[in-house]
Amino acid sequence: NAYNLAIVNTIRNSGGNNALRHIMIPTHAATSMEVAQNALVIPNNDKRIIVSQHTYWPYNFTMNTDAGSGATASWGSSSDKAACDTELDRIKNKFVNKGIPVVIGEWGSIDKNNTSARAVHAEYYANAVKKRGMCPVWWDNGYEGKEGFALLKRSSCTWLYPTIVDGLIKGVQDA
């Protein structure tokens, strides 16, 4: 909170259009965990603040590779979607419903040789985020190997997983 306050004050006081600029700030570690969200203080109650959130959700599907601790390569059941809706409603209620915009600035799922499940998740998640008035931004870290988030092969400007990209586009367009 102290860093967010310092940077917002610095930007606002630096002249030009900066007094009116929208500024994106994170919760602690940009996590969407409730404890971090509850601890966030919007600097000066500034009405031009956007909250940045990282939501690798659900963790067991999107990032966890340890089968012994619940990792899964499948996603898309009715209960999966209901749990996703509950989680995104929680974020929406915390910020969007109070007039505070949210960018889900990092989300995605790693490659576990499960492209079809990842495409289903991408479409549903992007759609659900957008329907709640938030902006979904897939985290493409450029890593193309197993457990990577890359969708774009940078060396050739081609899609590694066109079905996931199609899902993202369809999800956002249908929202």
Give the per-residue pLDDT at 105: 93
Q: Is the pTM of this model over 0.85?
A: yes
The two structure tokens encoding residue 148: 């990577």
Give the per-residue pLDDT at 146: 84
Neighbours of 144 (CB within 10 A): 17
Q: Which of 140, 145, 136, 134 is nearest to 101 (CA)?
A: 134
* Integer-rounded Cα radius of gyration of the chain: 17
Task: Tell me which residues of the chain have a pLDDT lower than 70.
Answer: none
Spatial distance between the Cα atoms of 173 and 95, rounded to a whole number of angstroms:
23
* pLDDT tens-digit readout, 27-36: 999 999 999 9
* pLDDT tens-digit readout, 74-94: 999 999 999 999 999 999 999
